[in-house]
Amino acid sequence: MKRVSILFVCMGNICRSPLAEGLFAHIARESGLADRFKIDSAGTGAWHQGKQPDRRSIAIARAHGIDITGQRVRRVRLEDFEEFDLFLAMDRANIAELRAMAPGAGNIMLFGDAALQTGEDIPDPYFGGPEGFELIYTRLLTGCIALVLGADQASLSGNTSSVR
């Protein structure tokens, strides 16, 4: 069975996308499905390259029993468009940046569409307080559960279109 590869993308790869990566990995492990996925996260900008995620993302993940301290910030690379089956962008600005990088890519989706079925942007909590990080944690948790379980259901029927 081919592993589904997902790249979570936000602007700086310090708040939303590393939290989504950590949540997805945790949920997949707890569900016994980790071997079915290859996941990573990246940013459209390179301001924080090589650093850990934002301390507030680390704290909210830790508060829920998830450790994301081993992650390192990176920028989206052109080769990612060949390597990953699906890019899940946190907001429409990220979608625009990704499409500018790879105009023909058909594997770019809004997290709010693919995971939440709401079309919502996941707001950037960087300039706010802890309540913003709790909000994105809740939205990302809901979406990541749906993605992992949806992928499992799709694999049971032999169909992977629900995660593409």
pLDDT tens, position by position, 108-157: 999 999 999 999 999 999 999 999 999 999 999 999 999 999 876 654 33
* Catalytic residue chosen out of the listed positions 10, 56, 74, 139: 10
Kindly tell me if the per-residue pLDDT of 46 is higher than 60.
yes
| Mean local confidence (pLDDT), 28-36 | 96
Task: For residue 99, indicate whether it is catalytic.
Answer: no
* Catalytic residue chosen out of the listed positions 15, 16, 56, 74: 16
pLDDT confidence of residue 159: 40
Alpha carbons 111 and 108: distance in angstroms, whole number: 9
pLDDT, tens digit, 9 for 90 and up, residues 78-107: 999 999 999 999 999 999 999 999 999 999
* Catalytic residue chosen out of the listed positions 40, 56, 124, 139: 124
Count CB neighbours of 34 within 10 A.
17
Which residues share a beta bridge with 39?
6
Residues 67 and 61: beta-carbon distance below 8 Å: yes
Where do the structural domains in the chain lie, given as residue ranges?
4-163
Alpha carbons 17 and 36: distance in angstroms, whole number: 20
Alpha carbons 111 and 87: distance in angstroms, whole number: 9
Does domain 4-163 fall into CATH 3.40.50.2300? Answer: yes
Give, rounded to a whole angstrom, the gap between the first and last alpha carbons of the chain.
16
Residues 119 and 143: beta-carbon distance below 8 Å: no
Task: For residue 15, indicate whether it is catalytic.
Answer: no
Indicate the residue type of 79.
Answer: E
Kindly tell me if the per-residue pLDDT of 1 is higher than 80.
no
pTM exceeding the 0.85 threshold for the entire prediction = yes
Cβ neighbors of 103 (< 8 A, separation 6 or more) are: none
Task: For residue 124, indicate whether it is catalytic.
Answer: yes
pLDDT confidence of residue 161: 36
